[in-house]
Chain A
Amino acid sequence: MATTTKATHPSGDNRFKLLDRAINVHHASGNALIEVLHAAQGIFGYLEDDILVYIGHALKRPLSQVYGVATFYNYFRLKPAGEHTVVLCTGTACYVKGAAQIQAALEHRCGCKFGQTTPDGKVSLVQARCIGSCGLAPVAVMDDDVAAKLTVDEAVRRVGAFMQATEEVAK
């Protein structure tokens, strides 16, 4: 029987207590690896090596498997995300209605490709395969706000606002 591990992290980071709780909910079962990775990403924002080692130890799964699962699925991030996230839907309906032009314009405005974060760490550009709002294509999710029937101008304006807002906060 899988027993609940009382592993605490030597760094004293309290967030590991939350992770321990998520692990215990699943009785430290190796079958719950994906669920635990979801929880960890929710708590830490992304999955750095240290967290993967910790989870592997707690669930008694080899690191190769933990790493293999974390890299297999698109949803898991091994690097920190930017302050703001723009998720552009590139599903078929959005594609037919011009998502590619929006993509090009945003890459130009941010100076980085989709899948990357701007060098200053402010905006992450993320592609989603389909967010299921095809009736409102093209669609992007700007932080938590769903922008429907998006135009190139509107997309660039909103991302510009993100970049300026964070610049002002920095001042």
Chain B
Amino acid sequence: MTVEELRELAEKERARQAGFGKRVLYCSAAGCVSCGGNATRDAFKKAIRDQGLDESCEVVGTGCMGLCGKGPLVKVAPDETLYASVDAAAAERIVDEHLKGGNPVEAMALDTDAPFFAEQTKIVLEDCGRIDAMRIEEYVAVGGYEALAKAITELSPPEVIEEIRKSGLRGRGGAGYPTGLKWSIVRKATSEQKYVVCNADEGDPGAFMDRSVLEGDPHRVLEGMAIAGYAVGANQGYIYVRAEYPLAIERLKLAIKQAERAGVLGNRILDSGFSFRIDLRMGAGAFVCGEETALLRSIEGRRGRPKPRPPYPSEKGLFGMPTVINNVETFANIAPILARGGAWFASIGTAKSAGTKVFALAGKIRNTGLIEVPMGIPLRRIVYDIGGGPPEGAEFKAAQTGGPSGGCIPAEHLDLPVDYESLAAVGSIMGSGGLIVMDSESNMVDVAKFFMEFSMEESCGKCVPCRIGTKHIHGLLDRVSRGEATPDDVALLEELCVMVKETSLCGLGQSAPNPVLSTLRFFRDEYEKKLRPAETFAGGVAGEAK
């Protein structure tokens, strides 16, 4: 396919869509499906058929629309009315009054001017919930693969990298390494063979943004990877995706097939001299494989155990070759940056953290779901304006970001701007973007223990500090929570945390103590409250002797 043919395809699809007066977009992501989305879909199809509206109404399954807690969600285009909790009866009513009668059912529609929608800025998720992820034509119709075409036909590889560098995009996997810099290192490496790897091993409990992007807009990730391949001089890409995400795997497989057939992946892309293939590799349930060196080992068919860095994957990665490895969300940002320019992207967010970040909002909060906000937004606005605050009867206690590698942010820091540096300053991290709100019911010692148990079980066992350290930290936390610990135990706990943090081989061990350290920092009183009563150890070993 040539670039002209790509544009014709877009034109044709837009005309096809315009042929329908109304398009019923229903969320077909796992969240809405699990609260009855398929029955809603069937009800729409049946009602539309019964009313004889087949010619003027199309029913389309899309990716996640964001407000997962109020599913199944349905949007009617082109007027963009969004309906929540749509069951079969509601579907019939919408068909009757809105599609046939032309009057939106106001009583059931969500207010899209509400802060949940108004405070968001969508780049990564701009097409999620608007297009059918299973049809490449719909992605092309909203401008998909135009950025790849622009890169190949108008820009040299260094110019592509320069644009990414100018955008200020930083890795969305959590560490925030500048993407442009990473790419230029791989570009400069002299090697016949280079690779592009997409890290879709979203193992953080509490995070589901990568899954939503893969399920709702897989072509965007493929396009970003192909642009990376062009920029660094690679002809092979791998997506390492969790086996726990069967729907994402199925849709990625389909998307790769469609892209190859359309000539935007594979040999001689868009009739140019550039070729790029993408293969899927399935994970098999190991949290440590989210760490890049472990992930690369896993793609090679080995146990996913990390290697010391340097050398970094950008010098010696997959099969010993220079490798670009980025997170799903990072790749999803690439096409918009090339299409609209690095300067546009840099104008969003803060000076050091450009662009937006997708968060998975969950826990004790009214509006659970997927949100995308500009970097630098105060945490308070995420929790109270977008999230609607804790539900009735509950009071905000802490926000946990970054999963088992992150920390808890207490109420006193609610005005903290959400960017890489500010989060690090309070002992937490951006992480992949899980954001869980806790209320007074949550006991912080138990929360720390919960995460430590996770890290302990998921430790690959290669290095001693992580393998044994996490076990002992867990043991000490257990003593605290059972009320058997002494002040010495807490001192030992703190010391051990610092040791594991400083001496572990990879990110898993280095960040495993974060939940303990951050709860000790902000909620030390909860630890102290649980210490053994003073009289039992006041006399030195007297307490023990009993």
B281 touches A35 (CB 8 A): yes
Flag A65-109 by CB within 8 Å of B: 1 or 0 each.
100110011111000000000000011110111000000000000
> Does A165 lie at the interface of the complex (its beta carbon under 8 Å from any beta carbon of B)?
no
Residue total for B at the interface (Cβ-Cβ under 8 A): 52
Complex interface: chain A residues within 8 A of B301 (CB): 29-35, 61, 69
Complex interface: chain B residues within 8 A of A29 (CB): 301
Q: In whole angstroms, how far apart are the Cα atoms of A147 and B286 in the complex?
A: 24
Minimum CB–CB distance for B319 against chain A, Å: 8
A92 touches B68 (CB 8 A): no
Q: In whole angstroms, how far apart are the Cα atoms of A139 and B442 in the complex?
A: 19
> Does A161 lie at the interface of the complex (its beta carbon under 8 Å from any beta carbon of B)?
no
B436 touches A136 (CB 8 A): no
Residue of A nearest to B303 (CB): A72
> Does A27 lie at the interface of the complex (its beta carbon under 8 Å from any beta carbon of B)?
no
Flag A28-50 by CB within 8 Å of B: 1 or 0 each.
01111111011000000000000
A135 touches B281 (CB 8 A): no
Which among B114-122, B228-236, B360-368 touches the partner chain? B360-368
Minimum CB–CB distance for A62 against chain B, Å: 12
Minimum CB–CB distance for A127 against chain B, Å: 10
B69 touches A135 (CB 8 A): yes
Q: Which of B34, B285, B438 contacts A146 (CB 8 A)?
A: B34
Q: Which of B34, B284, B363, B368 contacts A76 (CB 8 A)?
A: B284
Complex interface: chain A residues within 8 A of B300 (CB): 31
A146 touches B205 (CB 8 A): no
> Does A24 lie at the interface of the complex (its beta carbon under 8 Å from any beta carbon of B)?
no
B-side interface residues toward A, CB under 8 Å? 30-31, 33-35, 68-69, 71, 202-208, 211, 243-245, 281-287, 298-304, 360-364, 368-370, 400, 403, 434, 436, 438, 442, 450-451, 454, 458, 460
With A34-B282, A35-B281, A135-B31 as known contacts, state yes or no: A96 contacts B369, CB within 8 Å. Answer: no
Complex interface: chain B residues within 8 A of A147 (CB): 34
B205 touches A91 (CB 8 A): yes
> What are some 17 contacts across the A-B interface (CB < 8 A)?
A34-B282, A72-B303, A75-B243, A75-B244, A75-B285, A92-B205, A96-B362, A96-B438, A130-B203, A130-B208, A132-B30, A132-B208, A133-B34, A134-B362, A134-B434, A136-B69, A137-B362
Complex interface: chain B residues within 8 A of A32 (CB): 301
B208 touches A92 (CB 8 A): no
Residue of B nearest to A87 (CB): B244
> Does A129 lie at the interface of the complex (its beta carbon under 8 Å from any beta carbon of B)?
yes
A136 touches B206 (CB 8 A): no
> Does A131 lie at the interface of the complex (its beta carbon under 8 Å from any beta carbon of B)?
yes
Residue of A nearest to B370 (CB): A135
With A72-B303, A74-B286 as known contacts, state yes or no: A133 contacts B31, CB within 8 Å. Answer: yes
Q: In whole angstroms, how far apart are the Cα atoms of A109 and B285 in the complex?
A: 27
Complex interface: chain B residues within 8 A of A35 (CB): 281-282, 301
B302 touches A69 (CB 8 A): yes
Q: In whole angstroms, how far apart are the Cα atoms of A68 and B281 in the complex?
A: 19
A136 touches B403 (CB 8 A): no
Q: In whole angstroms, how far apart are the Cα atoms of A7 and B300 in the complex?
A: 23
Complex interface: chain A residues within 8 A of B303 (CB): 68-69, 72
Complex interface: chain B residues within 8 A of A76 (CB): 284
Complex interface: chain B residues within 8 A of A132 (CB): 30, 202, 207-208, 211, 244-245
Minimum CB–CB distance for A39 against chain B, Å: 10
> Does A148 lie at the interface of the complex (its beta carbon under 8 Å from any beta carbon of B)?
yes
> Does A128 lie at the interface of the complex (its beta carbon under 8 Å from any beta carbon of B)?
yes
Complex interface: chain B residues within 8 A of A61 (CB): 301
Q: Which of B284, B361, B400 contacts A37 (CB 8 A)?
A: B284
B286 touches A73 (CB 8 A): yes
Q: Which of A73, A92, A134 contacts B285 (CB 8 A)?
A: A73
Q: Which of A72, A148, A149 contacts B286 (CB 8 A)?
A: A72
Q: Which of A33, A96, A97, A136 contacts B34 (CB 8 A)?
A: A136
Q: In whole angstroms, how far apart are the Cα atoms of A132 and B368 in the complex?
A: 12
Given contacts A30-B301, A38-B284, A130-B204, 11 further A-B contacts (CB under 8 A): A38-B282, A69-B303, A74-B286, A76-B284, A93-B205, A95-B205, A97-B363, A134-B206, A135-B362, A135-B369, A136-B35
Complex interface: chain B residues within 8 A of A75 (CB): 243-244, 283-285
Residue of B nearest to A145 (CB): B34
Complex interface: chain A residues within 8 A of B436 (CB): 92-93, 96, 134
Minimum CB–CB distance for B214 against chain A, Å: 10
Q: Which of B34, B281, B285, B363 contacts A139 (CB 8 A)?
A: B34
Q: In whole angstroms, how far apart are the Cα atoms of A75 and B241 in the complex?
A: 13
A130 touches B205 (CB 8 A): yes
B207 touches A148 (CB 8 A): no
Q: In whole angstroms, how far apart are the Cα atoms of A131 and B208 in the complex?
A: 8
Interface centre among B31, B203, B369, B438 (most CB of A within 10 A): B31
Q: Which 4 A-B pairs rank lowest in CB-CB distance, beginning with the nearest?
A: A135-B68, A91-B205, A73-B284, A146-B34
